[in-house]
Amino acid sequence: MLELQHISYRVSAPEGEMDILKDVSITIPDHRMVVFTGPNGGGKTTLAKVIMGLVQPTGGKILYNGEDITHLSITERAKKGVSYGFQQPPRFKGITVHDLLLLAAGTEKLSKERCCAYLTKVGLCANDYLEREVDVSLSGGEVKRIEIATILARHSELMIFDEPEAGIDLWSFARLTETFEQLHQEGQATMIIISHQERIIRLADEIVVIANGEIAHRGSTEQVFPLILADTLGSCPVIERKETVR
């Protein structure tokens, strides 16, 4: 179980102090699939990074399986079973897809069949990709799918994916949603997915809408999805003001 208690994150900006996260508290039970969604700049990625340890909160506590992990390093959290798929994964000159899968799996050997299984789940063929370097010769979408494959190879108990759909073509996206659905059905892992895609949102047990550094809404797809749609249809305040003047 993951518990975020009163998480805040404040940064200094030229215009003064800014609160990126404001007293966010949420509990995510085991084996749930939770989607964080909301407007750009609302704090979703920061909150996800706080869980992985990529961002140190300025206030609050993170409990994972009852243990306070607030001050643990990224490495320590990874060893406790937390994994994180980056929105824009880095590239590595000289490190192959196979090397990355090995590192992710934490083993010295990984059969081609296992590698193939992970890569197929993200719509890539092991024969074409396993020995390729994860460098600029790969497209953004390919790097992104390899990133997701590394998370699958970790078999961690808590998987965080930051906009897994970003940069991925429609066909691969369809395969990816099947993979998320399958993972969820297997019930082995808790998944937090930052996403704006309806197909992913509809797979979730719970939707958490994060806006202005706070949880704006949370609940089941049936409860929250109409609220998202209502917000989406909302008009521009500037235009609205002009229309009022007329």
Partner 1 sequence: MITDIDAKLLEKIADLTGQPVGAFNLRKDSGCEARQSTEHIDISPRTDGKSGIDIRIKPGTKGEKCYIPVIISKSGVSELVYNDFYVGEDCDVEIVAGCGIHNSGCDESRHDGVHTFHIGKNARVRYSEKHYGEKDAGQTGGNVMNPKTVVYLGENASMQMETIQIRGIDSTKRETDFFCEAGSEVVVTERLLTHGQQTAESDMSIQLNGDDAKGRVISRSVAQDQSRQVFRPVMVGNAKCFGHVQCDSIIMGEAKIESVPAITANSTEAQLIHEAAIGKIAGDQLLKLETLGLTEEEAEDTILKGFLA
Instruction: Pick between residue 78 and residue 115 the one whose CB is nearest to partner 1.
Output: 78
Distance CA 35, CA 61 (A): 21
Task: Please spell the DSSP secondary structure of 181-199, one letter per residue.
Answer: HHHHHHT--EEEEE---HH
Instruction: Pick between residue 93 and residue 241 the one whose CB is nearest to partner 1.
Output: 93
Distance CA 215, CA 173 (A): 27
Residue window 42-81: x/- pattern of binding to partner 1, with contact defined by CB under 8 A: ----------x-x------------------xxx--xx--
> Across the strands, what pairs with 59?
8
* Shortest Å distance, C-beta 72 to partner 1: 12
Residue 225 vs residues 115, 162, 199, 211, 216: alpha-carbon distances, Å: 36, 20, 12, 15, 13
Distance CA 74, CA 80 (A): 10
**Is residue 99 within the footprint of partner 1 (CB under 8 A)?**
yes
**Is residue 93 within the footprint of partner 1 (CB under 8 A)?**
yes
**Is residue 84 within the footprint of partner 1 (CB under 8 A)?**
yes
Stretch that binds partner 1, among 15-23, 90-98, 192-200, 219-227 (CB under 8 A): 90-98
Picking from 52, 173, 62, the residue whose alpha carbon sits closest to that of residue 122 is 173
* Shortest Å distance, C-beta 182 to partner 1: 22
Residue window 114-143: x/- pattern of binding to partner 1, with contact defined by CB under 8 A: ------------------------------
Helix (H) / strand (E) containing 6 = strand 2-13
Residues that bind partner 1 (CB under 8 A): 52, 54, 73-75, 78-79, 83-84, 86, 88-90, 92-95, 99, 103-104, 106, 150, 154
